[in-house]
Amino acid sequence: MQRTDSRLSLDEQLCFALYSASRAMTGCYRPLLRRTGLTYPQYLVLLVLWERGATTVGGLGDALQLESGTLSPLLKRLEGSRLITRSRVPEDERSVLVSLTAAGRELRERAEPVPGEVERATGMARAEIAEMRAALLALAERLRAAEVGPA
């Protein structure tokens, strides 16, 4: 006989709903980004650079909430595609500055329609999207602040 505890039901898990939505969202981006030659993580890096301009690896890591060990191979591929350059910051040899190349700046124009197409795919109004984004960001902040671990 199988015991069902609704608290342990997959359908009751917030984590699974978020995981499922995240997979669906990145799946939505995949064919749109194929036109640009970018993967979803590469697109996120370029979004930061298009918005902020040249940024240190640490700044990118903070913006994307990624460790440098995760970011480095991603940046290496973008550099190999000639979309970015990396150079040491003269004032601080430990810091690496990531800059867009002309090709990286030009790619922005091809990526411009992507957010609108994703917005249409959600079937949500901009206000609903903004509300959901705010709720998800607040949730992420609460989870980061929570002290969860062994008792």
Q: Are residues 84 and 124 in the same domain?
A: no
Domain that holds residue 50: 12-112
Q: Does residue 68 share a domain with residue 19?
A: yes
Partners of 98 in the β-ladder: 55, 86
**pTM score:** 0.89
Residue 69 lies in a domain: yes
Q: Whole-angstrom Cα distance, residue 40 to residue 74?
A: 11
Q: What is the pLDDT along the chain (151 residues), one digit of tens a residue?
A: 566 678 899 999 999 999 999 999 999 999 999 999 999 999 999 999 999 999 999 999 999 999 989 999 999 999 999 999 999 988 887 899 999 999 999 999 999 999 999 999 999 999 999 999 999 999 999 999 997 777 6
Regarding whether 52 and 95 lie in a shared domain, the answer is: yes
5 to 1, 17, 75, 94: CA distances (angstroms): 13, 18, 45, 52
Task: Tell whether 90 and 133 lie within a shared domain.
Answer: no
**C-beta atoms surrounding 42 within 10 Å:** 20
Q: What is the strand order of the sheet 92-100 is part of?
A: 55-56, 92-100, 84-89
Same domain, 125 and 107: no
